[in-house]
Amino acid sequence: MTTESLLAPLPRARSAVDRLVLEIRAMIDSEVLRVGDALPSERELCERFSTSRNTVREAMRMLKAYGVVDVRPKVGATIIDNRMARALDLFSFNTIAISRKSFADIQGFRTLIEVNSVDAMFEKVTHDHLDRLNAANSAMGNAETIAAASEADFNFHIGLISILDNAALIEIYRIMKPVIIRIMEKGKSSQDFRTSTMAQHSSVVQALETRDRISYQYALQFHLNNGLNTFD
C-alpha cells in the first residue's frame, strides 16, 4: 500500500510547523515511501529542512494526529495509515446533541450492515451466537439504569455483527460506540426497554434461529427505526 496523498490538501502554511508538515508530505511522495517505512531521524529532519528540533517534534505530533505516522521512543517515526480511524474518532465526539438527520444517517448505516447482511448471517450463525445474543438481551432486561441497559443493548448488536466474523466492522462499531450509545439512551428514555426493546430483540433472535429472512429483516429494521420520533 503506497502513501500517495497521505494527507488531504492543507490550507496555505502560516507557520513553521505547517510548512514542515507540507515538506515532509512532499518528501514521502517524492521518495515513494510506503506504510512501514521509517522517516529520517529528528536530527536528519532538522538538517534537511533547516529547522529546529521543537518544530520537527510539533510536526510529528500533527502527523501522528492525522494517523500518518507512529512515533516511538528509540525507534523514531514510522509511516502508518490510520486516517480512517482518526476521522471516525472525531465523528464519535459528536455525542452532545443528535438531530433527527444524524439519527437517520447512523441508523441507515447500521441497516446496511445489520439488516442487509442477512444471507451472510444465516450462513454463519451458530448456537453460541444465539446464546450470546440472548444473554445480552437478558442483561438489558435486568439492567437497573438506562446507561446499563444501553450498554447491554450495544453488546447485543455487537453480537449480531460478530456473526459476520469481520474485525473491521467490529472496530467501526467500537469507534462509533459513543454515538450509538447516545441514540440508545435517548430511545430508552421514551419506552420501556424491559418490554418493548426486549421483545424486538427476541424477534430478531428467533428469526435468526429459524433462518426466516423476511421476519429477520422486518424485525431488525423496525427496531432500528423505532426511536426516530424521539429526535426533533
The per-residue pLDDT string of the chain (232 residues; one tens digit each, 9 = 90 and over) reads: 444 444 444 444 358 888 888 888 888 888 777 888 888 888 999 999 999 999 998 888 888 877 788 888 777 888 877 655 555 555 555 544 567 777 888 889 999 999 999 999 999 999 999 999 999 999 998 998 888 999 999 999 999 999 999 999 998 898 888 888 888 888 776 667 778 889 999 999 999 999 999 999 999 999 998 877 666 5
User: What's the confidence (pLDDT) of residue 2?
Assistant: 47
- Rounded to whole angstroms, the Cα distance separating 20 from 58 reads 9
Q: How far apart are CA 63 and CA 76, in angstroms?
A: 13
Interatomic CA distance for residues 83 and 65, integer angstroms:
9
Question: What is the per-residue pLDDT for 29?
Answer: 81
**How would you classify the pairing of strands 69-72 and 76-79?**
antiparallel
Q: What is the pLDDT of residue 1?
A: 45
CB atoms closer than 10 angstroms to residue 163: 22
Cell numbers at residue 40, please? 529520517
pLDDT at 82 (0 to 100): 65
Contacts with 218 (C-beta within 8 Å, 6 or more apart), sequence order: none
